[in-house]
Amino acid sequence: MSGRLAVVGLGPGDARWLTAEAEAELACAQALYGYLHYLDRVPVRLGQARHPSDNREEDARAAAALRHAAQGAQVALVSGGDPGVFAMAAAVCAQIEAGPAVWRSIEVAIVPGVTAMLAVAARAGAPLGQDFCALSLSDNLKPWDLIERRLDAAAGAGFAIALYNPVSRSRPWQLGAAFERLRRQLPATTPVVVGRAIGRGDEDVTITTLADTNAVTADMATLVIVGSAQTRVIPRPGRCSLVYAPRLTETVRA
Amino acid sequence: MSGRLAVVGLGPGDARWLTAEAEAELACAQALYGYLHYLDRVPVRLGQARHPSDNREEDARAAAALRHAAQGAQVALVSGGDPGVFAMAAAVCAQIEAGPAVWRSIEVAIVPGVTAMLAVAARAGAPLGQDFCALSLSDNLKPWDLIERRLDAAAGAGFAIALYNPVSRSRPWQLGAAFERLRRQLPATTPVVVGRAIGRGDEDVTITTLADTNAVTADMATLVIVGSAQTRVIPRPGRCSLVYAPRLTETVRA
C-alpha cells in the first residue's frame, strides 16, 4: 500500500485565498496534521482524523505525518501561506533526509499557496513589483549577525525587503534592530508597509516611513515590507495611499 | 457611478492554482483586460467584454483598463502568477500616478496569486524555504551592471535566488551571464532548479548544479532557482530528488 503526503498551503487568513488544488487535497485526505490554529481553518469532515500540534513542533509534526503516510495513508500536512516559504515543506524535506530510508519512497506533493508577503503587498499596491527579497528575522536557528549581513546586502543592492517572523514573545527586539540597521543605508523617507492579520477580520495595514518605524507595533501575525530608495507612494483622496516599485530603475545608486 | 479595477493573479499555468477570490473576481467583471495568452485561460462568459493585448503593452493595457473603470465599469485586469511580482500591479500604480487625477479615486483591488517561483519550488521540494530573493534578469528597464550587483549581493549574503524573465528572444545571453557571475561566489555544486511551463501539460523540472548550467535551455516560460551554499539535495530511488534549504544555518560563511 503506497502512502502519500501532501504539504498544503492554506494561504493567509482568508479562505478566499485557498487554491482549488489545496481545497481538493484537503477534501481527499484521510488524516490532517498541522499547527492547531491552521487546522482550525480546515472544515471538519467525517472520517478524517485530525492531529493538531503546537507552534514550535515543526520537526515532530513533519515526522508524525511522514510516519503516517509510510503506513499507506493519504495524509495532508497543512501550512499557513505557502508551505515553501518559512514553513513546513523544508521541515518535511529535512525529516526525509534524516529519517528511515523508506520515507524516501513516499509520494510527496507540495501544494503551493499565497504567501503572506504577496497578500500584504496586494493590500498596499505593488511594493514587491521589482527585485525583492524575503528574510526571516527569527534568530532561533541562524545567528543575528548573519541576519544583519543579509539586511545590509539587500538594502545596499536596492532590493525591497519582506520581513517574516518580525517579532515573537521570545524575540521582542529584533524588528527594531532591523529597522535601525536599515536606516544606515536607506533614506529616512523609504516607505514601509506593516500588515497585520491580513485576510482576517481584524486585518490592519499601515503605511509609514523608515524614519517613523519607532512607532510600529508588531506581533507574530505581522509581516513588514521595507521599500527601496526607488519605492513610490501615491496619495489618494479618500483612499489608502498606494505603494509601488516603479519598473524603470533610473539611478544606479544601489 | 463608481468604477472598480481588480488586478487579478491567475497563478501559473494550472487552473487548479486559481484562488477562490480570483475566480469570483473573474466571474463578476463586466470587462476583462490582459495579455492575450493569459486571457485565453479565462472562461468566456456571456455579456463580458474581452480586451486582449500583446505582451509588450503593459502600460497601454493598464491605462485602458483604468480608463474603462473610470467610466463606472467593473473591470478585471488579469495577470499571470501574482500581479504584484514582475507583473501588472506595478504598471497600474504607475499609470495611476502619471494619469488624470480622477484615476486616484477609482477603487483598485489587487488579487494575489501563486507566483511562479512558489510553484517551481513546490515541484522541487523547498529550495526557497529560507531567506531568498526574486530578481528579474530583464535589462530592458534597468542596467545590466545593477543586475550583476544584485546577483553578487544576494549570492554573497547566502540568499537563494529566484530568477524571473531569464531569457527572451531579444535577451538571449543574460541567463548564461548570470550563471557565470554566480559561479564566482557560489560552489560549483550549488543546486539549481530549472522549471519550465509549470502547471501546463508540457511542464518540465530539471535539477542540476551551477557547474552544469551551460546545458540549461530556457525560454520565456522558464523560472530558475539557484540555491545557496547551504542548499541540500536528497536523492530518492525511483522519484525526483528533493531540493531544500535547511532551517539550521550552521556556517556563517555567507
What is the rounded average pLDDT of the residues A127-153?
96
Rounded distance between C-alpha atoms, residue B75 and residue B54, angstroms? 18
- Identify which of A40, A27, A59 has the alpha carbon closest to the alpha carbon of residue A51: A40
3-state secondary structure of B143: coil
Confidence of residue A92 (pLDDT cuts 50, 70, 90): very high
Task: Outline where DSSP puts E strands in A185-238.
Answer: 191-196, 204-209, 222-226, 232-236
Q: Which pLDDT does position B254 carry in this prediction?
A: 38
Does residue A66 sit at the B interface (CB-CB below 8 Å)? no
**Residues A67-102, buried b or exposed e (16+ Cβ, 10 A)?**
bbbbeebbbbbbbbbbbbbbbbbbbbbbbbbebeee
3-state secondary structure of B119: helix
More confident residue, A67 or B253: A67
- Please tell me which residue of chain A has the smallest CA distance to B140: A248
Q: Which residues of A are less than 8 Å from B41 in CB distance?
A: none
What is the C-alpha radius of gyration for chain A, rounded to an integer number of angstroms?
20
How do residues B103-133 score in pLDDT, each as one tens digit? Answer: 999 999 999 999 999 999 999 999 999 999 9
Amino acid at residue number A181? R
Q: Which residues of A are less than 8 Å from B156 in CB distance?
A: 153
Q: Which residues of A are less than 8 Å from B145 in CB distance?
A: 252
Q: Which pLDDT does position A121 carry in this prediction?
A: 98
Confidence of residue A215 (pLDDT cuts 50, 70, 90): confident
DSSP conformational letter for B228: -
Does residue A130 sit at the B interface (CB-CB below 8 Å)? yes
Residue A26: C-alpha distances to residues A8, A50, A52, B61, B146 (Å): 8, 11, 14, 37, 44
What is the rounded average pLDDT of the residues A70-81?
97
Q: Which residues of B are less than 8 Å from A98 in CB distance?
A: none
Q: Which pLDDT does position B161 carry in this prediction?
A: 98
Confidence of residue B55 (pLDDT cuts 50, 70, 90): confident
Q: Which pLDDT does position A250 carry in this prediction?
A: 54
Helix B58-70 / helix B88-98 crossing angle, nearest 10 deg: 60
Confidence of residue B250 (pLDDT cuts 50, 70, 90): low
Q: Which pLDDT does position B1 carry in this prediction?
A: 56
Q: Would you call A236 and B24 a contact, using CB atoms and an 8 Å cutoff?
A: no
Does residue B107 sit at the A interface (CB-CB below 8 Å)? yes
Does residue A134 sit at the B interface (CB-CB below 8 Å)? yes
Q: What are phi and psi of B102, to 5 degrees?
A: -65, -25
CA distance B57 to chain A (A): 13
Task: Outline where DSSP puts E strands in chain B.
Answer: 4-9, 31-35, 49-53, 74-79, 107-111, 125-126, 132-136, 160-164, 191-196, 204-209, 222-226, 232-236, 239-244
Q: Would you call B254 and A87 a contact, using CB atoms and an 8 Å cutoff?
A: no
Determine which helix (DSSP H) or strand (DSSP E) holds B144, and give its type and residue range: helix B144-156
Q: Would you call B20 and A16 a contact, using CB atoms and an 8 Å cutoff?
A: yes
How do residues A14-72 score in pLDDT, each as one tens digit? Answer: 899 999 999 999 999 999 999 999 999 999 999 999 999 998 889 999 999 999 999 99
Which residue has 499565497 as its cell numbers?
Answer: A114
Q: Which pLDDT does position A107 carry in this prediction?
A: 97
Does residue A43 sit at the B interface (CB-CB below 8 Å)? no
Q: Which pLDDT does position A252 carry in this prediction?
A: 43
Q: Are B61 and B50 in contact (CB under 8 A)?
A: no
What's CA B78's distance to the chain center, in Å?
Answer: 14
Does residue A252 sit at the B interface (CB-CB below 8 Å)? yes
Which residues of chain A from 158 to 177 reach within 8 Å of chain B, CB to CB? Answer: 158-159
Which residue has 515543506 as its cell numbers?
Answer: A89
State the Cα torsion B14-B17-B21-B26 to the nearest 10°.
0
Rounded distance between C-alpha atoms, residue B75 and residue B87, angstroms? 17
Q: Which pLDDT does position B188 carry in this prediction?
A: 97
CA distance A164 to chain B (A): 9
Q: What are phi and psi of B184, to 5 degrees?
A: -65, -30
Q: Which residues of B are less than 8 Å from A248 in CB distance?
A: 141-142
Does residue B104 sit at the A interface (CB-CB below 8 Å)? yes
How do residues B15-44 score in pLDDT, each as one tens digit? Answer: 999 999 999 999 999 999 999 999 999 999
Determine which helix (DSSP H) or strand (DSSP E) holds A241, and give its type and residue range: strand A239-244
Rounded distance between C-alpha atoms, residue A63 and residue A227, angstroms? 38
Q: Are B87 and A243 in contact (CB under 8 A)?
A: no
Which residue has 473576481 as its cell numbers?
Answer: B25
Does residue B223 sit at the A interface (CB-CB below 8 Å)? no
Q: Are B182 and B226 in contact (CB under 8 A)?
A: yes
Rounded distance between C-alpha atoms, residue A245 and residue A225, angstroms? 12
Strand pairing class (A31-35; A4-9): unpaired
Residue A231: C-alpha distances to residues A125, A198, B37, B59, B196 (Å): 11, 22, 30, 18, 31
**Contacts across the A-B interface (CB distance below 8 Å):** 265
Q: Would you call B110 and A121 a contact, using CB atoms and an 8 Å cutoff?
A: yes
- C-alpha cell, B9: 493573479
- C-alpha cell, A23: 481545497
Task: Outline where DSSP puts E strands in B60-129.
Answer: 74-79, 107-111, 125-126
Q: Which residues of A are less than 8 Å from B252 in CB distance?
A: 143, 145-146
Q: Would you call B89 and A150 a contact, using CB atoms and an 8 Å cutoff?
A: no
Q: Which pLDDT does position A253 carry in this prediction?
A: 43
Q: What share of chain B is helix, strand, coil (3-state, %, to 5)?
A: 35, 30, 40
Rounded distance between C-alpha atoms, residue B241 and residue B125, angstroms? 8
User: What is the average pLDDT score of chain B?
Assistant: 94
Which one of B118, B135, B165 makes the best mutation probe of the A interface by having the most chain A beta carbons within 10 Å? B118
Q: Would you call A112 and B121 a contact, using CB atoms and an 8 Å cutoff?
A: yes
3-state secondary structure of A253: coil
Q: Are A27 and A45 in contact (CB under 8 A)?
A: yes
Q: Would you call B143 and A252 a contact, using CB atoms and an 8 Å cutoff?
A: yes
A225-234, A239-248, B134-143, B242-251, range with the lowest pLDDT: B242-251
Is ipTM beyond 0.95?
yes
Q: Where are the alpha helices (DSSP H) in chain A?
A: 20-28, 36-39, 58-70, 88-98, 116-124, 144-156, 174-183
Q: Would you call B237 and A104 a contact, using CB atoms and an 8 Å cutoff?
A: yes
- Please tell me which residue of chain A has the smallest CA distance to B235: A104
* Residue A223, strand partner residues: A195
- C-alpha cell, B143: 542596467
Does residue B186 sit at the A interface (CB-CB below 8 Å)? no
- Please tell me which residue of chain B has the smallest CA distance to A15: B20
Confidence of residue A249 (pLDDT cuts 50, 70, 90): low
